[in-house]
Amino acid sequence: MKTFCGRANTSTGAVDWVEESEEYDYHQEIARSCYADMLHDHDRNEKYYQGIRAAVARVKARGEQVIILDIGTGTGLLSMMAVTAGADFCYAVEVFKPMADAAQCIVKKNGFSDKIKIINKHSTDVTVGPDGDMQMKANVLITELFDTELIGEGALPSYEHAHHYLVQDGCEAVPHRATVYAQLVESEMLWNWAQLQPVEVEGARLVPPAEVGRCAGAHSVCDIQLSQVSPHSFTPLGPVCSMFSVDFSQPVNSTFQSHSSQFVARCGGRAQVVLSWWDLEMDPAGSIVCSMAPSWTYPEPETAPWRDHWMQSVYFLPVESKVAEGEELSLTVCHDDYSLWYGLQANRQPDPQTASPLPRPCCTCQAHLVWTRPRFGELNDQWRTESYVSALRSILREDSVCLGVSDGSLLPVFAHMLGAKKVYSFENSRMSKQVIEQILEANSMTGGVELLKSRPEQLTSSDLGGQQISVLMGEPYFSTSLLPWHSLFFWYCRTALTGLLRPDITVLPCSATLHVMAVEFQNLWRIRAPCGTCEGFDVTPMDEMVQRSLEFHESREAEPHPLWEYPCRALTQSTPVMTFDFTQCIPEQPIISEGSLPLTRIGRCHGVVLWMEYQLTEDIAVSAGLIQPVGDQGECEWSRHRKQGVYFLRSPWESSGDGRAALSYSFIFEPTSGDIKMDFSINPGDLLPSDS
């Protein structure tokens, strides 16, 4: 059965109506759910299996039947581990129907149907009794309800309910315990993700509004691959602190709690950021530990397990504060049933009986709701700002009438500071407009930039006071953009505005170029790799719908990833494959590009990276992808501000590196839809398919 779905087109700005099968959403959800990453996480699976075997053995040693409750079973892997370890019966709960259906298929294929019952419900809706979902309460509780913040997927309420209604008193639990760790640091790089910094333009200083500086910021956690944040980019002000633990074998309380850790500052500095992660102890003795600690905490960093379904967290303190070496400090963490937040106190240990609760961070300035954390980093990037200011300086005249087309951009403010006659700017939302107005007011520039509410296609000459635009500028940046070419919305705006532009219009950037490069990923390939077998269990035979969705996603679409967090090596040269001329309107005919990239380095080709480079003027360019030339061994340094596109090959290929084998490409830019259709294939030469 087919249905029509309306979708906002991020490139053209229009709403497209597309025909999809009724299973489309399931296809996408399964394809993007990263179950493959979890199933490839050998350390996680091994530690869970060890913990499950030990728990089953302890119950059997007491002469009891082993009844398992597995909450959040996913593929059913942990339930199959439990039965293999000797459990008598397992109730496996999975609320997401497509995944529950897949688990049912996998369990049946592996011969466990008689001992595993898949329950497609939220665990808080599961009932126990003769007519219930479970015939009896379980005496072993197995869960994988955790996210990067530990409790963000509702682990605490689920545990609380399970202990009240679904498991026996004194039950075994795998994992048995979780412990949250934190470290207070100073880091200019990370702090730039939280607060707007002053900017120097032509000897003038653009300062952030006081409201932004006082704001505690967005409450949502910043989850990243902390292993890719170099220890040289932050200064530890204190030791790694154990903040609190949760014993999952006992009744769990999901209400607000506060915990503090006292320490002496190791050195002086600015307390800005808290780095946080957690460990799982799979057994009561704490001898089986699955750690989320970043690699630089390991004596041998290369031995740290890699995973993407669980990462590490960065928390920004409400305000930065100076600390002195030797100063006694108290780091406090609070949590409700779904999230954590941190605060710092000096020179005293808080009394839990009298201390007032640490308020949850809440954005009051709007800026943290308008700009993402990478966007803050982009706005604070001094080199990038200097590039745009230099480009603007070279094209502006005293009689320039400028129009900015980007979301929450400072370019119009820079144009005003550089002396443009008149500056207009589109703002896509009320909040974004308010933030720019605050910046103008804080710098006594009220009225210096006129903020327009109309969409580009709705703009009239009267909105511009009868003037024609002589400079059209953009970064381009749009909050709705996901993939690199979605920023071509700037081109569609330029085309819609043609009647309001002077014949000799100057456009900044004047063009954009799509670049591609074949790469070998260090670890990212795992999130889309076939599952094969996992700890002795065949997890490949999902139902046809799930398998089709995975194939559709992997073989035909690129997906966005922040590659600075995911190291890779270049196997080909970086190659421009398509150029978009912003000085001209969008062409009526498709733009087509075909060619090949010789594989000139030895390695395993997992896929292709795609990114945009913007030519601001003839001699100034800004890259949203590679920011340094590729190293001699293929090392890549990527922009931290934008996500790059990644197209995973259906199967990895081994390159001998002699250049005889090549990756062929075909691109078609469709002007009517703004889509870029792409296809890649290997011209083998002496290239052989990889076994993994």
Q: Determine the Cα–Cα distance for residues 51 and 49; give it in Å rounded to an integer.
A: 5
- Residue 542's pLDDT band, with cuts at 50, 70 and 90, is very low
**Quick check: 681 pLDDT over 50?**
yes
In terms of phi and psi (left: phi > 0; alpha: psi -120 to 50; beta: otherwise), the region of 533 is beta
The mean pLDDT value for 550-569 works out to: 78
Residue appearing with tokens 């990038």: 384
- Residue 346's pLDDT band, with cuts at 50, 70 and 90, is confident
Predicted TM-score (pTM) of this structure: 0.91
Contacts of 156 (CB under 8 A, 6+ apart): 246, 252, 253, 254, 337, 338
The more confident residue out of 3 and 585 is 585
Length of the chain: 692
Return the pLDDT at 675.
Answer: 92
The mean pLDDT value for 501-520 works out to: 97
For the stretch 591-618, pLDDT in tens is 999 999 999 999 999 999 999 999 999 9
Neighbours of 272 (CB within 10 A): 24
**Quick check: 203 pLDDT over 60?**
yes
Return the pLDDT at 451.
Answer: 95
The more confident residue out of 664 and 14 is 664
Q: Give CA separation, 553 vs 33, 254, 277, 356, 384, in Å.
A: 11, 38, 31, 50, 34
**Quick check: 11 pLDDT over 90?**
no
The mean pLDDT value for 205-231 works out to: 93
Return the pLDDT at 531.
Answer: 64
pLDDT averaged over the chain? Answer: 90
Q: φ and ψ at 154, to 5 degrees? A: 85, 30
Return the pLDDT at 13.
Answer: 65
Quote the DSSP letter at residue 359. P
Indicate the angle between helix axes 97-109 and 77-84, nearest 10 degrees. Answer: 30
The mean pLDDT value for 344-367 works out to: 75
Q: Determine the Cα–Cα distance for residues 663 and 529; give it in Å rounded to an integer.
A: 19
**Quick check: 31 pLDDT over 90?**
no
Cross-strand pairs, 15: 8
Q: Determine the Cα–Cα distance for residues 363 and 378; give it in Å rounded to an integer.
A: 19
- Residue 83's pLDDT band, with cuts at 50, 70 and 90, is very high
Q: Which residue out of 94, 144, 427, 565 is catalytically annotated?
A: 144
Contacts of 376 (CB under 8 A, 6+ apart): 192, 193, 194, 195, 196
Return the pLDDT at 37.
Answer: 78
* Best-predicted range by mean pLDDT (109-113, 199-203, 210-214, 274-278): 274-278
Beta strands 422-426 and 401-405, pairing class:
parallel
Q: Which residue out of 23, 46, 153, 557 is catalytically annotated?
A: 153
153 is catalytic: yes
For the stretch 305-339, pLDDT in tens is 999 999 999 999 999 999 999 999 999 999 999 99
Q: Determine the Cα–Cα distance for residues 108 and 104; give it in Å rounded to an integer.
A: 6
Going from the N-terminus, what domains does the chain have, and what CATH number goes with each? 35-174 (3.40.50.150), 178-366 (2.70.160.11), 381-508 (3.40.50.150), 511-529+547-689 (2.70.160.11)
Return the pLDDT at 546.
Answer: 38
CA angle 276, 282, 286 (to 5 degrees): 80
Quote the DSSP letter at residue 128. B
Extract the tokens encoding 684: 């083998």
Q: Determine the Cα–Cα distance for residues 655 and 684; give it in Å rounded to an integer.
A: 9
Return the pLDDT at 374.
Answer: 97
Q: Determine the Cα–Cα distance for residues 431 and 416; give it in Å rounded to an integer.
A: 21
On whether the CB atoms of residues 410 and 206 are closer than 8 A, the answer is: yes
For the stretch 63-74, pLDDT in tens is 999 999 999 999
Q: Determine the Cα–Cα distance for residues 383 and 400; give it in Å rounded to an integer.
A: 25
Residue appearing with tokens 């639990």: 173
Neighbours of 435 (CB within 10 A): 23
Q: 3-class SS at 237?
A: coil
For the stretch 257-276, pLDDT in tens is 999 999 999 999 999 999 99
The more confident residue out of 645 and 447 is 645
Return the pLDDT at 220.
Answer: 85
Q: Give CA separation, 230 vs 43, 224, 268, 377, 632, in Å.
A: 23, 13, 20, 16, 21
The mean pLDDT value for 466-473 works out to: 96
Cross-strand pairs, 514: 578, 612
Q: Determine the Cα–Cα distance for residues 638 and 483; give it in Å rounded to an integer.
A: 15
Q: Determine the Cα–Cα distance for residues 353 and 258; give it in Å rounded to an integer.
A: 11
Return the pLDDT at 547.
Answer: 42
- Residue 341's pLDDT band, with cuts at 50, 70 and 90, is very high
**Quick check: 389 pLDDT over 80?**
yes
On whether the CB atoms of residues 404 and 412 are closer than 8 A, the answer is: yes
Beta strands 167-174 and 177-186, pairing class:
unpaired
- Residue 5's pLDDT band, with cuts at 50, 70 and 90, is low
By C-alpha distance, which of 312, 426, 422, 438 is closest to 365? 438
Beta strands 289-291 and 328-335, pairing class:
unpaired
Extract the tokens encoding 278: 């957690």
Contacts of 237 (CB under 8 A, 6+ apart): 184, 185, 186, 265, 266, 267, 269, 271, 323, 329
Q: Determine the Cα–Cα distance for residues 218 and 216; give it in Å rounded to an integer.
A: 7
**Quick check: 568 pLDDT over 80?**
yes
For the stretch 432-447, pLDDT in tens is 999 999 999 999 999 9
Return the pLDDT at 522.
Answer: 96
Per-residue b/e over 646-682, b at no fewer than 16 CB within 10 Å?
Answer: bbbbeebbbbeeeeebbbebebebebeebbbebebeb
Q: What percent of the chain has pLDDT above 90?
A: 81
**Quick check: 513 pLDDT over 70?**
yes
Q: Find out whether the peptide bond into 587 is cis, omega within 30 degrees of 0.
A: no
144 is catalytic: yes
Least confident segment among 263-267, 426-430, 468-472, 518-522: 426-430
Q: What is the dihedral of CA 352, 356, 361, 363, to 10 degrees?
A: 180
